[in-house]
Chains A and B, each alone.
Chain A
């Protein structure tokens, strides 16, 4: 254990007020879901034959998995580009990814009308290889498993010390041995799979040549979705790290995060440039000039990303944790809006159709987020996820501010 950055369980009581509040919200969403499984989607959601996809897809899956791309974004830097300094960020990022993706998977099951047929999807002889959704489904199913394996060292490190339970102890040691040997293959998969399905989430809308607003329909959809996944992943890492440092009273990781932000500036400008040049080349900039509701939404997306890019442009501002957090929030909002617009706002099934999520529908989404929060709290308190910035750092020392 000679590595510079050690991860340690935060400890402290599990049943805090936040935890219990989240548990209550989650319980409420389970009650709503019970109702949904009895009466069907019609009475419980705002979805209809014009808008067959609502927030359970557009938010929980399409936006939620992008916000859960921290594990992907940091893994690219840390492993693919061999920047070991990002290593302390890996575990917390992979934890939020694992939780976010698992709950996106749960949302899909809840949303599927004929969920009892789901077991037929992995059967290879059933596959329609033209279906983008098949690729997304298989990729996400696999990636959920990959994420939990990526995170599993954090669990086995604790379990292998449980001398009281020799069976658990021995099993954990054996698994740890396997992980040391084979985790490389899993980590590479952990970069490949999100590259595939995050771009394919954009490809889902390619087929809708007549139903997706021309400001959002472009052959660049897969690229734009991949770019927003990377951006939102980074932003979520910064956001979550700031939050964890605040809540658990830990030293800020500003230095590592600042150098990550400089990479993001590049991605931001590539995204903004691709979006504008694509519209210009295909003669669609006039749609922006119309200044109607849709151009307003488009401009808002662009403004959020542009503001984030400008904030991060100077080295001095990047090193300021406040500015960094604000730019991360701007990126999360911009990316979320872009994805939401592509799946709901810009989706135009024709006159006479409208959609707005119902309260039960929103309750389920909020309940799932609440579960994510409580699972996060439980896991970081019990398992070594967050790194200890200063070796002697003791929890509760509010004055501890130097970053490693």
Chain B
């Protein structure tokens, strides 16, 4: 009995050692940190310029063939979604602080540099497509909704009220961008509160605005490094931190950086599972023999 216990504990200890070395600190980088392609595109939303006219919400629906969302308000007279949902890929929300200060906030897919949704998707129905746009292919989607649980921004939405649902999320109007166009939200904005462009250009633009009018802005470009970086960048008004606008504090690491490094460390080249299988095969064979099994019709 005691050899059993000892050997079980030994096995557990080595498994623990394996898991323990999988701490994010120990895995600073068998995998290089993900970057977006050099021709990556993005959006820059400047909350201080937004007047909340919702033109972008209307034009987004038009460009993407989305139905109106009349479920919420009384009388169902308005297309008035209350959040991103399966009929709404882009929305303007309002933040009102205790001091009475207000700010508008545009929400849509952040097009992460290292997107969790694409990392977790079993057969890449969500994927990092051309120009870094995070795209969706319903032909591959099984509807497991792991993308929804994994997304730190709660962006992918699901068509809950149909027998044949799809995942719905902003794809940066890739059908327009492919033909040299620009996303509908950026095209519709009368104040250039949201602009479309090359990612590097937008980053420089955002930093330039911060440097030019430091009193106007909260001193940070959200999305430059947050959660491993996003291709949608945000500027907020002075005194209104991004968390108030619903953008979480994610640190500089993406979620996939931890999970992928850990699983690649364990499953590198599939060597560990094959080695374990060989050891188990030998052990089972040995006990099979010594316990007199596999003979005389016995199991």
A113 touches B143 (CB 8 A): yes
Chain A count of residues within 8 A CB distance of the other chain: 91
A residues within 8 A CB of B258?
A: 206-207, 209, 219
B residues within 8 A CB of A38?
A: 163
Partner of B120 from the list A40, A87, A207 (CB cut-off 8 Å) is A207
A residues within 8 A CB of B150?
A: 207-208
B142 touches A52 (CB 8 A): no
Binds B, one of A11-19, A222-230, A239-247: A222-230
Contact string against B for A residues 154-172, beta-carbon threshold 8 Å, 1 for contact and 0 otherwise: 1001000000000000000
Partner of B280 from the list A80, A91, A204 (CB cut-off 8 Å) is A80
Given contacts A82-B286, A347-B149, contact A206 B262 (CB under 8 A): yes
B122 touches A259 (CB 8 A): no
Given contacts A188-B284, A263-B8, contact A220 B20 (CB under 8 A): yes
CB distance from A374 to the nearest CB of B (A): 25
B256 touches A115 (CB 8 A): no
A residues within 8 A CB of B124?
A: 126, 128
Cα separation A88 to B98 with both chains bound (whole Å) = 68
CB distance from B72 to the nearest CB of A (A): 13
Binds B, one of A191-199, A304-312, A361-369, A388-396: A191-199
B23 touches A219 (CB 8 A): yes
Cα separation A53 to B293 with both chains bound (whole Å) = 44
B residues within 8 A CB of A299?
A: none
Given contacts A87-B291, A185-B281, A270-B12, contact A130 B256 (CB under 8 A): yes
Partner of B19 from the list A176, A207, A222 (CB cut-off 8 Å) is A222
A81 at the B interface (CB under 8 A): yes
Interface residues of B in 193-210 (CB under 8 A from A): none
Contact string against A for B residues 4-41, beta-carbon threshold 8 Å, 1 for contact and 0 otherwise: 11011100110110111011100000000000000000
Name the interface size band of chain B: 35 or more
A27 at the B interface (CB under 8 A): no
B212 at the A interface (CB under 8 A): no
A210 touches B262 (CB 8 A): no
Given contacts A263-B8, A274-B16, contact A349 B290 (CB under 8 A): no
Given contacts A207-B119, A207-B258, contact A42 B161 (CB under 8 A): yes
Closest to A138 in B: B122
B residues within 8 A CB of A2?
A: 292, 296, 298
A128 touches B123 (CB 8 A): yes
Binds B, one of A62-70, A96-104, A117-125, A323-331: A117-125
A82 touches B152 (CB 8 A): no
Closest to B274 in A: A192
Binds A, one of B133-141, B179-187, B232-240: B133-141
B residues within 8 A CB of A350?
A: 154, 246, 248
B15 touches A223 (CB 8 A): yes
Among B15, B123, B273, chain A packs the most CB atoms within 10 A around the CB of B123
B148 at the A interface (CB under 8 A): yes
Closest to A271 in B: B12
A114 at the B interface (CB under 8 A): yes
A52 touches B158 (CB 8 A): yes
A114 touches B281 (CB 8 A): no
Cα separation A203 to B248 with both chains bound (whole Å) = 22
Given contacts A82-B287, A121-B123, A270-B16, contact A37 B148 (CB under 8 A): no
Cα separation A47 to B143 with both chains bound (whole Å) = 13
A residues within 8 A CB of B284?
A: 79-80, 184, 187-188, 191
29 examples of A-B residue contacts, CB within 8 angstroms:
A1-B297, A3-B298, A39-B161, A40-B162, A41-B160, A49-B86, A50-B154, A77-B4, A79-B280, A114-B143, A118-B142, A120-B142, A131-B119, A133-B144, A137-B122, A184-B288, A188-B281, A189-B277, A192-B280, A203-B259, A206-B258, A208-B149, A209-B255, A219-B23, A262-B1, A263-B4, A266-B12, A270-B13, A350-B154
